[in-house]
Amino acid sequence: MSIFNYIFDSDWSQRSDIEALKSQNASLVGRSRERRSKEAANEARVEELEQEVGELALLCKTMMQILLEKRVCTGQEFEALIADLDAADGVADGKVTKPKPAELKECPQCKRPVQHHHTHCVYCGMKYPG
């Protein structure tokens, strides 16, 4: 703002400032609404995922209990298989890690997707040549 505006601050100049501030405010209100809408969508998605995780945890717990009660396997065998399947995706991180398609090859025997670096199939046990 020039010295001229300080000394001769006109009504027009004030109105212009007010209009500029109104415009800024409207823009901020719009962005704020947009952000609140995104937050609501994210919260809904988190609730949906928590519901799915809870359902999967219940399913796993039920299946493990049936396996143990029917003596299909022991708890140690179950845990060993979990460790094997965890490592089968190439990363022992306590979860199923989706490999990139370029890191997979097809087992010639069972046709399942396996990691490129594996020397044998983790599903059917076939040893790969070379």
Contacts to Zn ion by CB under 5 A: 107, 109-110, 121, 123-124, 126
DSSP for 81-113, please give it: HHHHHHHHTT--SSS-----GGGEEE-TTT--E
* CB of residue 122 to Zn ion, shortest distance in Å: 8
* CB of residue 105 to Zn ion, shortest distance in Å: 11
The letter for the amino acid at 24 is Q
* Burial environment of residue 114 by CB neighbours within 10 A (0 to 12, 13 to 18, 19 or more): buried
Complex with Zn ion: residue 57 or 110, whichever CB lies closer: 110
* CB of residue 112 to Zn ion, shortest distance in Å: 5
Complex with Zn ion: residue 63 or 110, whichever CB lies closer: 110
